[in-house]
Structure 1
Amino acid sequence: MPDPIDINDIVIESSKAFAAKFNEGMAGPNPEHELIATVLKSAAGATGYGFLGDFPRLKEWIGERQLKDLAKHQYNIVNKLFESSVRVGRVDYEDNDYGRYGIVFKQMGYDARMHPDEHIFSLLKNGFTELCYDGQPFFDTDHPLEKGGTVSNAYIPPSNPQEGWYLLDTRRPIKPLIWQERIKPELQRVDDANDTHVFTYDEYLFGVRARGNAGYSFWQLAAGSQEELTAENFTKVYDGMMSQKDSE
């Protein structure tokens, strides 16, 4: 007569298999947010980007150095907490019927890898109302300059606005948008037979946990238009971006 199956050994092996499926899902996709957003690490609940504005540019050194204050603005990106969770019946392990869940964990890994895309591209869609470091909407007709005057990076028709299209300068180390990463997505589990939840509900819990958030960088690196996308309107937006000056 064969020895009875040790359910604890099955749980350990299946948890490893689920983690492998999750990692496989994480490794599969190619998210696009890094094309338009700089990924920056965060070491706290919120990270300040008061330096946003104009970085000092090289110029002829005449007299004393012209030091620039990089903490003028009060712009913070507050990290959000994200989760995705599933429950798996303990009896499925006892009956060797847990293999069908593998695809679920692979999908969880895929979603975890892709979820910054949702937040970054939503920023573009909401850029005509959401505020950036200067307290104005990211796409705005009157961004203030330090030495007076305003600059526009928004093209809004007097009537019949379109869904919106965008022109972005992504060639620089700092891109127009920021994905702030506090904690990378990780798979956690509650599968100890002595755990209170397992004892009470006879099920194991698995979940993804991550922390981070999306925010705006330099509005000067982007322009948004709600006009019809025509060659004429594209040229207008392009020429507008090329003619921008810094705050000084």
Structure 2
Amino acid sequence: MIFNEKNASAVITALATSIKTIFNNAFDAAPSQWNLVAMEVPSNGKSNSYAWIEKFPKLRKWLGDKVISQLSAHAYTITNDDFEATVEIDRNDIEDDNIGIYKPQAQMAGESSKQWADDLVFTAISQGFHQPCYDGKSFYATNHEVGAGKGKKLVSNKLDVKLDASSLEAARNSYGKARTMIRSMKDNEGRPLNLNPNILLVPPALEDEANVLMTVDRLEDGKPNPYKGTATVVVAGWLETDSEWHLLDASKAIKPIIFQPRKQPVFVALTDTSSDSVFNRKKFKFGAEARGAAGYGLWQMAVGSTGEK
């Protein structure tokens, strides 16, 4: 196809439509599971502040004036970042009807855009062993402070044991311990949070171990498995190590992880034939842009283990 001023607009419009269709089809078909563990809190600016995050308002007996739950003094802020995925198409390939070679790139851009939130959310979980949450401690830490004054206690949501289904004792000392830790969590007034962990998040290397723990009637030592069916196994390739595992309560309105979209992934195109990119390098550009971030909600709703002693 000869590419000239007369047909440039029609050719580029048709090309953009084709690339966008490929992108959208791949976007729609791509799997995504971030919403199993995170809550979406839209953003309307550069960042969001989450001073409210640690308050658990509950009904109490009304005696005298109402007791107002004050916002936390913690200034936990999640700042949005920019993201992009770009496909560059050479003008010669348009003239030579050789656009098919770019189809896989457009498909991967679409899939990457769909899983953008997964990338943010599961990376945040994996980095929770060293990234701070609203109280200034690492999301997974052994010294979170709960309560005030003489009633202040240090509470842990971090373990360093491997996920183990080899025996009832091993299961109790790994998954069972994490489950008890979450179910024992209390708020700053000492009231039970009544949490019920329902997600066991693991890397691909621990998928079989997690599935055994959640599905078999008896463990390898022949003893009954009390943990069968107590959580849904979620496997995420974004986790940074092969040994870490996470137990979360993602059943409530507030979840342990925050997905904060400022701009959801959108298809964009640079098709102006007079642009520097086209004039100097004969390159047209198509892709996606997004803006947002992920961060931490309530550490009480998650226990993470490095899987290493």
TM-score range, shorter chain: 0.7 to 0.9
Partner amino acid for 1:115? W
Partner amino acid for 1:151? V
Structure 2 unaligned blocks of 5 or more: 162-241
Query: TM-score w.r.t. structure 1 length?
Result: 0.83
The verdict on how the C-alpha distance between 1:227 and 1:85 changes in structure 2, with shifts beyond 3 A counting, is closer
The verdict on how the C-alpha distance between 1:166 and 1:7 changes in structure 2, with shifts beyond 3 A counting, is same
Does the 8 Å contact 2:131/2:138 carry over to 1? yes
After superposition, give the CA deviation of every residue in 1:88-115 in whole Å (9 maximum; x if it has no partner): 1112212222133223212211111112
Q: Partners in 2 of 1:21 and 1:203 — Cα distance?
A: 19
1:32 aligns with 2:33: yes
Does the 8 Å contact 2:106/2:287 carry over to 1? no
1:216 to 296, 302, 305: 296
Q: CA deviation at 1:46?
A: 0.7
Corresponding position of 2:60: 59
Q: What secondary structure sits across from 2:88 in the alignment?
A: strand
Q: What secondary structure sits across from 1:41 in the alignment?
A: coil
Q: Partners in 2 of 1:59 and 1:51 — Cα distance?
A: 19
Q: Partners in 1 of 2:101 and 2:138 — Cα distance?
A: 47
1:149 aligns with 2:149: no
1:13-28 aligned at under 5 Å gives the runs 13-28=14-29
Q: Partners in 2 of 1:190 and 1:85 — Cα distance?
A: 10
Partner amino acid for 1:211? R
Does the 8 Å contact 2:87/2:106 carry over to 1? no
Does the 8 Å contact 2:51/2:73 carry over to 1? yes
Partner amino acid for 1:40? V
Q: What secondary structure sits across from 1:126 in the alignment?
A: helix
After superposition, give the CA deviation of every residue in 1:26-51 in whole Å (9 maximum; x if it has no partner): 11122111100111100011111111
Q: Partners in 2 of 1:71 and 1:44 — Cα distance?
A: 21
Q: Partners in 1 of 2:84 and 2:290 — Cα distance?
A: 7
Runs of 4+ in 1 over 2 A off after TM superposition: 225-228
Corresponding position of 1:177: 257
Query: TM-score w.r.t. structure 2 length?
Result: 0.68
Corresponding position of 2:286: 206
Q: CA deviation at 1:141?
A: 1.1
Corresponding position of 2:305: 225
Q: Partners in 1 of 2:115 and 2:139 — Cα distance?
A: 24
**CA RMSD, 1 decimal:** 2.0
Partner amino acid for 1:205? K
Partner amino acid for 1:15? A
Worse-superposed segment, 99-108 or 180-189: 99-108
1:168 aligns with 2:248: yes
Q: Partners in 2 of 1:223 and 1:126 — Cα distance?
A: 13
Q: CA deviation at 1:227?
A: 5.1
